Amino acid sequence: MRLFRLPAVAALALLAACDLSTEPNVPTAIDPAVDTYATSLGIDIGSMTKTSTGLYYKNLVPGAGAAAQIGDSVRVHYTLWLTNGTMVESSKAGSAPTPIRILLGDTSVNRVIPGFEEGIIGMLPGGRRQLVVPPHLAWSTKGNPPVQPNANVVFEIDYVERIPAAP
């Protein structure tokens, strides 16, 4: 009888050590403050402002006028990079660069990640801002290829204009 118990115990131990989940293996999120960034991105995390949500931002060009706030409809240009310096997409690319329109604070309309929208708040027209967006304000554990799950991402945003509300 002992001969059957040992293989059964060994099999159970082996089974317990295996990852049988149906979810793909997701890398652990890296704190943006200790992540590695391509030098071409010019990230100096120590000189950036960190918000209460964990978003990092730095004004590259200050701009002038009224600051963007919740409820404003704005047009912005953006470029998105992976931390390794790979550009993912840009509203400035192509033969007819077109800024995107965002209604700040309207979750029923926006098709942008929370960190992108938060990064626009407080910008002045004509301003340019660099963002480092942590995973929980980006695509989280799901990713959005080529953005890997739990990845920090980098944006550069140009605040083009505030769009007045329709009368």
The domain segmentation of the chain, as residue ranges, is 27-163
For the domain covering 27-163, report its CATH number: 3.10.50.40
With a CB cutoff of 8 Å and minimum separation 6, the contacts of 3 are none
- Whether this prediction's pTM lies above 0.75 is answered by yes
pLDDT for the residue numbered 111: 79
pLDDT for the residue numbered 14: 46
pLDDT for the residue numbered 20: 46
- The percent of residues above 70 in pLDDT, for the chain, comes to 83
Phi, psi angle pair for 122, to nearest 5°: 90, -10
pLDDT for the residue numbered 110: 61
| DSSP state at residue 45 | G
Q: Which portions of the chain are predicted below pLDDT 50?
A: 1-4, 6, 9-22
pLDDT for the residue numbered 31: 97
Q: Where are the alpha helices (DSSP H) in 1-152?
A: 2-17, 114-120
